[in-house]
Structure 1
Amino acid sequence: MNKQLGRRWRIALASLMSLLSAVAAHADQPGMDPSQPWATESRTNEPATRGTEFPRQWSDLTALESGLPESLGLNWLDSGSSIGETPRTAPVQLASYDSDSLDLLATETLNDATFGASSANDLQSNPSLSSSQVVPIRVGYDGGFVIASQDDLDLGTEHYPYRLKLNGWGQLRQTVFAGNDSQDDLNQIQLKRARIILSGNAISSDLSYYVQLDGRSNASDSIRILDYYFQFDLAHRLWDCDRGTLGIRTGLYKMPFSLARQLSGKHLQFSDRSMSSTYFDVNRSLALGFYGATNSLPLPIHWELALFNGLVTGGAETGSSGQLDNNNAFSGRLHFHPTGQWGPGQLADLTGHRQLATRVGAGFATTTIDRSGTTEFSSIRTVDSGHQLSNLLPFAVKSYDVSIFSLDTSMKYRGFSATGEYYFRNITGFQGDYVPNLFDHGFWLQSGMFVVPHKMELMARWSRVNGNSGTLGVTDQSSDEFAGGWAWYFDQDHAKVTMDATYLNGATVNSAVLDINPGDKGWLVRTQLQISF
């Protein structure tokens, strides 16, 4: 094993050094022979070659020794084989070179149809280019280090052992709030979400990672790590089952509970989530969990379980200096699709399903909250004032139990979509003083219809929370949210504008993301531009 690893490092180092020296030599010699395919000058109008053949399997590294042209001048440092031996695996296209940059093709061979389709825009914008001069991916220095790619390439890298994928998205929002009573009005332009995502595989295609950075204008910290976790596909690795049958995940991530939280913020129909889904939210935490799917059944069920630090704890500091109690929380979620193919994660029917697509799910979360953990003890809100439960309880109360449940269903059909999610929460087992059991429940109903197919959607939403937590069991109170809006999709979720108006009748949450404060009554109007890649 050590000998093999050492050999791989020698090969990689020799490749890098030789390639750099070859490129440098090429830059110093403008009159190089254009018959050398990797070094063809653009001004000779000679087409660059499509690439150099490499072996398909990383494990067969000895085949690399004869996989490069002699013009690269690579001297391999392996006594086990000599230059010029015939490769022992099927070669595939890896790279092609021209005088201005290093043009990297996919590690899997791109067929002519893919190549032509990905290059169509370049050929239209610059008719002087020939198809042999346009490549899907370019890497080089052009006033700065540049990595450029055509759109929608299928590189086939999902199951490579080492892989890095970069994504990003942002939301710029204009928010106006006009309160009915004594609440402060608001009129601001805000950066609500600015996300950079690094994901991929490490060591094995069964071991994946996910890191998400977040920046926003209404946060005290300019940038933070929102998610970071690893997951390992146990069943595929150990028993060669279908991918996703059984896996383990650990790190900081969204806890399995509700549909509203499971959705990415960029896949929401409205500018943001509803009041009720935020009220019953579990959000993120440091956790250890399992996930899987019953792929062998006619109707696969996707499920996830997690053991985590507590409700709405996020990345709160742990250990003796932290503000968390010593009680873990548990949560779980499952969902399945009774009919049709659901497709991408968003609720809006962007594709205009010809067959009815449905989705059904459920979740739960439970924990004991102790006064010693101020982060958790102060997180529970009440109806309808939105005040913290900790401020209403007798001081002698030291702990209590919380259980939350969710049920959801969604459908898409011919541009129309509808979603509903119902929650209920029990707070029981008060220790230290008598407090009756408290029960809150709520829901959000949402629908959308594309009046211009794939482009313009009209939306409506009703959200409601009802319960006796605000009066410590004496009587029920409630609050409502009514909203309507429209969205224009320039390029699906990659570029869209959303505008919605919401009437609040006593908000039960305190959310800087939603721009809602406890007890708010009035109109909230949001206009949002979203860009993602």
Structure 2
Amino acid sequence: MVHRLASAALALLLLASLAVAEEPRRLPPPNKASVVDDAVTPTVYQPLFGVACEPGDDPLTPRYEVGAVFDKGVFIRGVDPQRDPYSLYVGARLQLRHTGFTRTADEWTDSAGNTREVRNRNNFDAERVRINFQGTAVDPNLSYYFILDGDSDGQSNVDMLFYAFTYKFDDALQLRVGRWKAASDREWLVSSRFLTLADRSMATEYFRSGITDGLWLLGDLGDGWRYEASLSNGLRSSTRRGFEYDDNLGVAATIYHDPLGDFGPDLIDYACSPAPLVRYGASAAFDKTDDRSDAGFPLGDNNFVTISDGTQLSEVGALGPGARVVSDRIMKASLDFGMKYRGWFMSSEWFFRSIQDISATAPIFVSQIDDHGYRLDTGVFIVPKRLDVIGRVSHVSGPFGDSYEYAAGSNYYWGSGTTDGKLNDRISKLTFDVTYVDGSPVTSPLNDMVAGDRGVLFRTQVQIGF
């Protein structure tokens, strides 16, 4: 009898345990409080079993969430940034471009006496194929940003275009360490996602700084004032090895003011501003290169510099028969002004550059080269947030000649990305432009110009980003 009662009790206990095991675990609903501005509500993942590591911890309380945000990509991040200051956003962007060029001159002769053919072109290429990684780590005020970049011009190689850590002490002071743009020239500092036409102007490509390694200070000073300054290996040094440098550093700084309200990240008036917006600013940069010809590096960081007819400064014979420039000092500055109102926009910039203290391996006929130039872009949305028309002119002038660019084009914004429920996809677009080039002073794979070009350039580009 005792055995039968024990067996019955054991059977009842087993049935009860099975009933409990089959009952589903109820998890708390996803946390939506931290994603008010997200285009896609994130999904919260919580393991079925958890252990409270500290007094008061609830093993069923979500600590991390995953989802997607327009213009930043997919993410995983801590629900409470103060407790779990780790986040990772992964995004991507692709520019596919067709370029056609019809020449109006057969050849050009540079300052070194070399005659080169001006060639017609007709090709497809991938201009920017990028994957972005950004987020926070260790401390909620410490952010990171990495960009992997590949394109057809780079022989389909993928490289680390940018990498940086930024610590925010407060709004007025942030410190960035890594590889970034030297802090000079307004159109250059605008992200290539938001350019007015297929790429930057001829004048910007001639005068601009580049990507380099170093330190940056930046911040918001209040009342619409923002600044950025860099101390780096040079003005354009990201492709050089450490032992190729001399013992000089490049310095650059920019400042701008938005007196009537936030001007926004781009130059066009995508938001159709109901009241006028204005931005004005200034940039300056200095770089010094010393003779390292004894180590096999004749011009250090400044191999990218060209003079106003398109001749590379480091080319033998550019400034005198048989002479190769081995050292110089570069000072440059720019002033910029832009405005937006009801779909209309205007963006302008004036450039000045002085190359001084030039030394070479043989006598040269100049000791200082002063160049100046400008760019002007203007346009209007004829269909709000969908279709615009834009015109551009830019000019480069120097002792070796003058160059002009005249362009017109249009952007169709076909994306559907939103912020706060409102259409805000300034990235996904189809661009077509036509440019007349009268003597390009620079070779730039980015804007499809070759030094000495005279003719008509056609570009059609589709850009996709998330």
TM-score over 0.5 for the pair:
yes
Give the Å deviation of 1:293. Answer: 2.2
Q: 1:301 aligns with which of 225, 230, 234?
A: 225
Which ranges in structure 1 are unaligned for 5 or more consecutive residues? 1-28, 39-48, 57-67, 82-86, 96-103, 107-136, 139-148, 237-243, 471-476
Which whole-Å deviations, capped at 9, do the CAs of 1:173-207 have from their partners, x for residues lacking one? 01001111221111111000011010111100111
1:294 counterpart SS class: strand
1:210 partnered with 2:145:
yes
Give the Å deviation of 1:163. Answer: 1.1
1:314 partnered with 2:238:
yes
Q: Indicate how the Cα distance of structure 1 residues 378 and 76 shifts in structure 2: closer, same or farther if over 3 A, else same.
A: closer
Partner of 1:510: 443
More strand by share: 2
Which ranges in structure 2 are unaligned for 5 or more consecutive residues? 1-17, 35-44, 107-117, 416-424
Q: 1:467 aligns with which of 386, 394, 398?
A: 398
Partner of 1:393: 319
Q: Indicate how the Cα distance of structure 1 residues 74 and 184 shifts in structure 2: closer, same or farther if over 3 A, else same.
A: same
Give the Å deviation of 1:401. Answer: 1.1
The letter for the 1-side match of 2:175 is I
1:493 counterpart SS class: coil
Q: In structure 2, what is the Cα distance between the partners aligned to 1:302 and 1:511?
A: 30
Partner of 1:349: 269
Q: Indicate how the Cα distance of structure 1 residues 215 and 375 shifts in structure 2: closer, same or farther if over 3 A, else same.
A: farther
Report 1:220-235 matches (<5 A): 220=155, 222-234=157-169
Q: In structure 2, what is the Cα distance between the partners aligned to 1:202 and 1:187?
A: 46
1:291 partnered with 2:218:
yes
Partner of 1:363: 283
Q: In structure 1, what is the Cα distance between the partners aligned to 2:74 and 2:308?
A: 48
Report 1:95-174 matches (<5 A): 137=67, 161-174=85-98
Partner of 1:187: 122
> Structure 2 length normalisation: TM-score?
0.78
Q: In structure 1, what is the Cα distance between the partners aligned to 2:211 and 2:339?
A: 27
Give the Å deviation of 1:371. Answer: 3.9
Which whole-Å deviations, capped at 9, do the CAs of 1:457-481 have from their partners, x for residues lacking one? 000000000011x3xxxxxx21000
The letter for the 2-side match of 1:443 is Y
The letter for the 2-side match of 1:339 is L
The letter for the 2-side match of 1:245 is A
Q: In structure 1, what is the Cα distance between the partners aligned to 2:368 and 2:65?
A: 64
Partner of 1:335: 256
Give the Å deviation of 1:208. Answer: 1.1
1:259 partnered with 2:186:
yes
Q: Is the 8 A contact 1:93 1:105 kept in 2?
A: no
Which whole-Å deviations, capped at 9, do the CAs of 1:420-452 have from their partners, x for residues lacking one? 011001111234656332110001000110011
Q: Indicate how the Cα distance of structure 1 residues 201 and 430 shifts in structure 2: closer, same or farther if over 3 A, else same.
A: same
Q: 2:24 aligns with which of 36, 41, 55?
A: 36
Partner of 2:49: 74
The letter for the 2-side match of 1:333 is T
Structure with higher RCO (Cα < 8 A, 6+ apart):
2
Q: In structure 2, what is the Cα distance between the partners aligned to 1:510 and 1:375?
A: 19
Q: 1:418 aligns with which of 346, 356, 360?
A: 346
2:447 counterpart SS class: coil
Which whole-Å deviations, capped at 9, do the CAs of 1:234-266 have from their partners, x for residues lacking one? 3x3xxxxxxx31121111111110111111111
Q: In structure 1, what is the Cα distance between the partners aligned to 2:124 and 2:373?
A: 31
Q: Indicate how the Cα distance of structure 1 residues 380 and 150 shifts in structure 2: closer, same or farther if over 3 A, else same.
A: closer
Q: Indicate how the Cα distance of structure 1 residues 53 and 465 shifts in structure 2: closer, same or farther if over 3 A, else same.
A: closer
Give the Å deviation of 1:518. Answer: 0.7
Q: Is the 8 A contact 1:380 1:390 kept in 2?
A: no
Partner of 1:532: 465
The letter for the 2-side match of 1:487 is N
Q: In structure 2, what is the Cα distance between the partners aligned to 1:523 and 1:158?
A: 53
Q: Is the 8 A contact 2:183 2:253 kept in 1?
A: yes
Q: 2:386 aligns with which of 425, 443, 455?
A: 455
Q: In structure 1, what is the Cα distance between the partners aligned to 2:21 and 2:105?
A: 78
1:325 partnered with 2:246:
yes
Q: In structure 2, what is the Cα distance between the partners aligned to 1:266 and 1:363?
A: 21
Give the Å deviation of 1:370. Answer: 2.6
Q: Is the 8 A contact 2:337 2:349 kept in 1?
A: yes
2:304 counterpart SS class: coil
1:403 partnered with 2:403:
no
2:153 counterpart SS class: coil
Q: Is the 8 A contact 1:304 1:334 kept in 2?
A: yes
* Percent identity of paired positions between Structure 1 and Structure 2: 27
Q: In structure 2, what is the Cα distance between the partners aligned to 1:191 and 1:170?
A: 7
Partner of 1:378: 303
1:501 partnered with 2:426:
no
Give the Å deviation of 1:377. Answer: 3.7
> Structure 1 length normalisation: TM-score?
0.69
1:266 counterpart SS class: helix
Give the Å deviation of 1:348. Answer: 1.6
Q: Which range is displaced more, 408-417 or 388-397? A: 388-397
Q: Is the 8 A contact 1:464 1:480 kept in 2?
A: yes
The letter for the 2-side match of 1:74 is F
Instruction: Work out the number of aligned pairs and report it.
Output: 403
More helix by share: 1
Give the Å deviation of 1:153. Answer: 13
Give the Å deviation of 1:291. Answer: 1.5
Q: Is the 8 A contact 2:224 2:262 kept in 1?
A: no
The letter for the 1-side match of 2:220 is A
Q: In structure 1, what is the Cα distance between the partners aligned to 2:385 and 2:81?
A: 28
Q: In structure 2, what is the Cα distance between the partners aligned to 1:93 and 1:417?
A: 49
Q: In structure 1, what is the Cα distance between the partners aligned to 2:180 and 2:75?
A: 28
Q: Indicate how the Cα distance of structure 1 residues 290 and 217 shifts in structure 2: closer, same or farther if over 3 A, else same.
A: same
Q: Is the 8 A contact 1:248 1:289 kept in 2?
A: yes
Q: Indicate how the Cα distance of structure 1 residues 464 and 158 shifts in structure 2: closer, same or farther if over 3 A, else same.
A: farther
Q: In structure 1, what is the Cα distance between the partners aligned to 2:204 and 2:28?
A: 53
Q: In structure 1, what is the Cα distance between the partners aligned to 2:153 and 2:461?
A: 16
The letter for the 2-side match of 1:445 is L
Give the Å deviation of 1:161. Answer: 1.7
Report 1:473-492 matches (<5 A): 477-491=401-415, 492=425
Q: In structure 1, what is the Cα distance between the partners aligned to 2:388 and 2:57?
A: 55
Q: 2:132 aligns with which of 192, 197, 204?
A: 197
Give the Å deviation of 1:325. Answer: 2.8
